[in-house]
C-alpha cells in the first residue's frame, strides 16, 4: 500500500478501508506493507519501491481535489500514467486508488461516504488480481 499524505484527512479513510478489506480477505498485518509519500504525483515511485522490496501487488491511494489552476490535470495524469506504467513494467498489479474530484464533498463521499470507500474497492481489485495471477500460474 502506498498512500499520499496530501489530503491526509481523505487518504487515511481510504487506507483504513483498504486495510479492512485486506483483513476480510485473510491477509495478515505481516503481509501488508504501508509506505507514505508526499502526494499523488509520488505514488508511482512509492509503488516501485514496494515492488523492489518484493511485494506481489501495490495499491496506490491518493486524493486530488480540483483547484483554480491546471495543476489538478497534471497531477492526475502523471499519477494515472505512472501507476499504469509501473504495474506493466513490473508485470504485477499496481492498482489505481486515487480519488480525483471537483470538490471536498465529492472526496468525502468516496472515502467512506454515500459512494462507499474507494480504498476498499482498490484493495479488493488487488485481491482479485493476485488470485487471477495465482490461478494462471497453477
* pLDDT surpasses 80 at 134: no
Q: Which three cell numbers stand for residue 80?
A: 494515472
Q: How confident is the model over 47-106, as pLDDT tens digits?
A: 999 999 999 999 999 999 998 888 889 999 999 999 999 999 999 999 999 999 999 999
Kindly write down the DSSP assignment for every residue of 30-41, as one continuous string.
Answer: GG---EEESSGG
> From CA 138, how far away is CA 122, in angstroms rounded?
25
Domains and CATH numbers, the chain: 2-136 (3.40.50.960)
pTM above 0.85, yes or no: yes
* pLDDT surpasses 80 at 135: no
Residue of 40, 58, 39, 38 whose CA lies nearest to 48: 58
26 is known as an active-site residue: no
* pLDDT surpasses 90 at 20: yes
Q: How confident is the model over 107-130, as pLDDT tens digits?
A: 999 999 999 999 999 999 999 999
Of 45, 71, 85, 135, the catalytic one is 71
pLDDT of res. 136: 76
Q: Which residue has the higher pLDDT, 84 or 137?
A: 84
Bridging pattern class, strands 35-37 and 58-65: unpaired
Q: How confident is the model over 32-52, as pLDDT tens digits?
A: 999 999 999 999 999 999 999
Amino acid at each position: 500500500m502506498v498512500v499520499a499524505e496530501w489530503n491526509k484527512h481523505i487518504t487515511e479513510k481510504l487506507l483504513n478501508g483498504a486495510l479492512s478489506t485486506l483483513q476480510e480477505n485473510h491477509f495478515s498485518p505481516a503481509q501488508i506493507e504501508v509506505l507514505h509519500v508526499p502526494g499523488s504525483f509520488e505514488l508511482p515511485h512509492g509503488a516501485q519501491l514496494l515492488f523492489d522490496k518484493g511485494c506481489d501487488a501495490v495499491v496506490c491511494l491518493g486524493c486530488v481535489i480540483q483547484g483554480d489552476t491546471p495543476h489538478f490535470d497534471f497531477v492526475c495524469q502523471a499519477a494515472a500514467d505512472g501507476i499504469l506504467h509501473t504495474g506493466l513494467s513490473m508485470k504485477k498489479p499496481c492498482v489505481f486508488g486515487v480519488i480525483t474530484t471537483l470538490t471536498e464533498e465529492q472526496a468525502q463521499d468516496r472515502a467512506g461516504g454515500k459512494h462507499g470507500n474507494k480504498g476498499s474497492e482498490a484493495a479488493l481489485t488487488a485481491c482479485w488480481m493476485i488470485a487471477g495471477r495465482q490461478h494462471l500460474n497453477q
